[in-house]
Structure 1
């Protein structure tokens, strides 16, 4: 019965992926950094697809993303002068403080576009606060509220569906520090974290001694995740694809976490 529930969840996720715009969220997304502009709307330049996805969720349609969506670790992208050309004509320039090229964005803005730092964390509370804030800033509060209604409904479905098939007691997991909150969706018990610094030999020994069932790995930093004998690795994504569909990130991770539960 539990596996039937998991199969239904996976099928539902796949159906949503087909019915909604794009099914991104994986590292092999084709590049393409701009959504179709709407007449009269603000022009937004976003540092990465994650930042851009929040602008799109808030109701903006004219979005240019600096770091291509298919870059492995977007914050490390080194933009060319041509990448920064759009910044000069932007109404708003959105970036995360940990983006390595944030200073270049600020310089390129030249005081014309409004600089807007964005807090990135794929938790419901943070997504709600940032989308609501951006919707108010852009004058698109109604569109932001409508998107959040859809997000709340789909997140509840993902979370309850995964927890319904989760074993009791819960699986134990070690996680990259930036991915640990994904354990809440499925109900994993996080017994240790690692990163953002490289894992030392001593830390690896400590994590291995905890005998976790799962490693929640950072898919955007493939070389930073430890291999622990007996633990199943789940590559978790935070950055959406070129379609800037933040919900696709949740669909992708729900499917990957569901596959671990099924095994």
Structure 2
């Protein structure tokens, strides 16, 4: 499983994502890094580190990624952690590793200060632990230098600003108050409606790819979807890396998902966490049983 499988149901695949740091720069051996380093412009599509206060990054970076494609793929996996806002300096810390600042007159890499790592760990490790996964060993804060003039400190005194803007909620995940007629109308506008649990979440080209647990699926509607589609159901949340879906914060939850078939893909237009016994879902169940489009 690729490290790109990280979401805030990201805990589904966190162990695979920890592999992103397996090639981490050998702290204490800067001569190895100096011989190979080169400055590269930070690309606009490096969304994790978009619009930070420096323009060039080192390759290889402090996680051992040697190509920009590798950086882009692995960095995308951590965007949901930043969106979780577990600490205001999460983005600064991650970017200091994925896109370390590159200065022409400085050969030695600028690492995050140990205090920055410890501060972010205090805020974000409990979020990761809530899903049953520890802080990655390769991000052990003891690996980073004590605060000095050549490391990036916490509290906004560095190169990468904290993320303060509230992330956009994905359209499919926005709460909508609907009566029975509107629920039926919404069902009729869509090509499929599933009640399901999530098996796996990953990212591809900025979209969120969702694989349901096969045994958990209850199919309410499949219009224009073949048996083959049904056997290999993969759902897509368009531009999932550009927005948040707090509805999908519990890997053990059951969801009602509706959507349309677009260019051969099953695209989600509505997603609700299914809560047994809740009045809204009793109404939805009644509406589905008497569905006539």
Q: Work out whether the TM-score is over 0.5.
A: no
Larger strand proportion, structure 1 or 2? 2
Task: Report the TM-score range of the alignment, normalised by the length of the smaller protein.
Answer: under 0.3
With normalisation by structure 1, the TM-score equals 0.28
TM-score by length of 2: 0.26
The structure whose RCO (Cα within 8 Å, separation 6+) is larger is: 1
Structure in which a larger fraction of residues adopt helix: 1
Larger Rg: 2
